[in-house]
């Protein structure tokens, strides 16, 4: 969070207490969050020293603060987490596969280091069993098709290692699928791209359409026989970011039984915040400054710029606007939570600074009239339905042989 946000939060009236109704609901139906980048933060900011990082304590005050730890997951009502095993989009070839394995290892290590808090999960049954035991179900998602190096054999082995979904692209287009933030190469999906989707459906891996271009998303919906997720995306009608999803595709995702899991990155929630951040980035680049740090850890000239240019406010109410928009367009069965914490540069809505902030969102939606059944579906019911349906589709294709195909990235 930026220094301005901290000052605004300090000056603003305290948030009202979370109603007991919301606390009790999240105890019964804890959140299954679609996306968290803790594994990369551990690698980059903590030298992959998993065992030296005590996630059983609050990590907000570390020299390199995190937005995630066990106490805050508990306070946030999180009972299931897809941990992203992201690697940079410009890492390709065999090294991309190696680095993905290293990230999977980090997830498995911090789960093993906290056995009373976490339990690995690969199915809806596993998730429910973990929650009954008071543990946070820990699932794995690959964030970019570059991580399989154009090989369906690698995709299958990632599934065997417990990977539950793959985001088809990250920030760069591939030869077989296009990113929302890069020039198109495939103009949707190539023949190999369609084979990737078909093989994911066959083996029971969820297709994740966050980051993909509109043309690629439409092409996925044309060929997929199992519902998809957008693990960390919001509504483009409310914030015009390429990563967000337009209404026509929201409708199609909902009609196909899929789920859009709302992101909490301010740049995807607020066009005003996004414009402010563009100006901040331009100032930083013009002065040779790194712009990926916010608040007092940013370079001094940026701290001064922040003080002179008040940041637009983004709160739990802003997140609720996106949840409600997606629900209106695609149906309340088509919306979930995918915060992207620890992958958003330390930024967040001012009253949702870490994973413990989710009850504020649910309290806001309850204030707007959401009933307990719809809140429980938002928390976990909708994504559990997708997980179960993806598994059922795979079971129905059990007799089909693997697709033997490769492609150059």
DSSP state of 294: -
Spatial distance between the Cα atoms of 299 and 193, rounded to a whole number of angstroms: 42
- Residue tagged active-site, from 340, 342, 350, 374: 340
Token pair, residue 140, equals: 């794995």
In the chain, % helix, strand, coil (3-state, to 5) comes to 50, 10, 40
- Residue tagged active-site, from 126, 146, 211, 324: 211
328: enclosing H helix or E strand: helix 316-330
Spatial distance between the Cα atoms of 27 and 33, rounded to a whole number of angstroms: 15
- Give the CA count within 13 Å in the CB-facing half-sphere of 199: 25
- Residue tagged active-site, from 37, 321, 324, 364: 37
**Pairing mode, strands 335-337 and 259-262:** parallel
Neighbour tally for 31: CB within 10 Å: 26
> Is 292 in the active site?
no
By the 10 Å C-beta count (0-12 exposed, 13-18 middle, 19+ buried), 20 is classed as: exposed
> Is 58 in the active site?
no
Point out which residues pair with 119 in neighbouring strands: 137
- Residue tagged active-site, from 170, 199, 324, 342: 170
> Is 309 in the active site?
no
> Is 37 in the active site?
yes
Spatial distance between the Cα atoms of 309 and 23, rounded to a whole number of angstroms: 37
Spatial distance between the Cα atoms of 63 and 65, rounded to a whole number of angstroms: 6
Spatial distance between the Cα atoms of 256 and 291, rounded to a whole number of angstroms: 39
> Is 214 in the active site?
no
Q: Which residues contact 291 (CB under 8 A, 6 or more apart)?
A: 280, 281, 284, 285, 298, 302
- Residue tagged active-site, from 69, 126, 143, 324: 143
Q: Name the CA dihedral angle for 316, 320, 321, 326, rounded to a multiple of 10 degrees.
A: 150
The position carrying tokens 């911090």 is 110
> Is 211 in the active site?
yes
Helix (H, G, I), strand (E, B) or coil at 256: coil
DSSP state of 84: E
- Residue tagged active-site, from 146, 232, 322, 325: 232
- Residue tagged active-site, from 35, 146, 322, 325: 35
Helix (H, G, I), strand (E, B) or coil at 235: strand
Point out which residues pair with 335 in neighbouring strands: 260
By the 10 Å C-beta count (0-12 exposed, 13-18 middle, 19+ buried), 385 is classed as: middle
The catalytic residue positions are 35, 37, 143, 170, 211, 232, 340
């Amino acid at each position: 969070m930026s220094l301005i946000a901290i000052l605004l939060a300090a000056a603003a009236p305290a948030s009202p207490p979370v109603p007991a109704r919301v606390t009790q609901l999240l105890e019964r139906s804890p959140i299954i969050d679609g996306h968290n980048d803790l594994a990369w933060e551990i690698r980059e900011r903590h030298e992959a020293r998993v065992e030296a990082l005590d996630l059983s304590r609050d990590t907000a005050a570390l020299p390199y603060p995190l937005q995630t730890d066990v106490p805050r997951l508990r306070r946030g009502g999180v009972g299931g987490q897809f941990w992203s095993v992201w690697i940079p989009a410009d890492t390709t070839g065999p090294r991309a596969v190696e680095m993905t394995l290293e990230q999977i290892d980090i997830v498995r290590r911090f789960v093993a280091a906290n056995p009373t808090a976490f339990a690995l999960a690969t199915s809806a049954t596993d998730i429910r069993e973990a929650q009954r035991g008071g543990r946070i179900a820990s699932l794995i998602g690959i964030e970019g098709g570059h991580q399989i190096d154009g090989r369906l054999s690698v995709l299958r082995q990632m599934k065997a290692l417990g990977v539950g979904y793959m985001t088809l692209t990250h920030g760069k287009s591939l030869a077989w699928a296009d990113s929302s933030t890069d020039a198109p190469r495939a103009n949707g999906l190539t023949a190999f791209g369609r084979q990737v989707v078909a093989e994911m459906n066959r083996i029971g891996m969820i297709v994740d359409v966050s980051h993909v271009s509109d043309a690629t998303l439409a092409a996925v919906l044309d060929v997929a026989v199992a519902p998809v997720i957008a693990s960390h995306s919001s509504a483009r009608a409310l914030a015009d970011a390429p990563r967000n999803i337009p209404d026509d595709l929201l409708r199609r995702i909902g009609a196909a039984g899929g789920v859009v899991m709302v992101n909490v990155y301010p740049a995807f929630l607020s066009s005003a915040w996004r414009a402010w951040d563009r100006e901040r980035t331009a100032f930083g680049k013009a002065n040779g400054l790194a712009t990926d740090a916010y608040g007092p850890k940013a370079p001094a000239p940026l701290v001064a710029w922040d003080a002179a240019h008040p940041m637009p406010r983004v709160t739990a109410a802003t997140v609720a606007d996106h949840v409600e928009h997606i629900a209106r367009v695609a149906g309340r069965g088509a919306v979930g939570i995918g915060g992207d914490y620890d992958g958003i540069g330390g930024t967040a809505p001012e009253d949702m600074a870490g994973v413990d902030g989710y009850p504020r969102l649910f309290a806001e939606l309850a204030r707007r009239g959401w009933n307990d059944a719809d809140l429980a579906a938002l928390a976990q019911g909708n994504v559990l339905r997708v997980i179960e349906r993806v598994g059922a589709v795979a079971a129905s294709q059990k007799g089909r042989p693997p697709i033997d195909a490769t492609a150059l990235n």
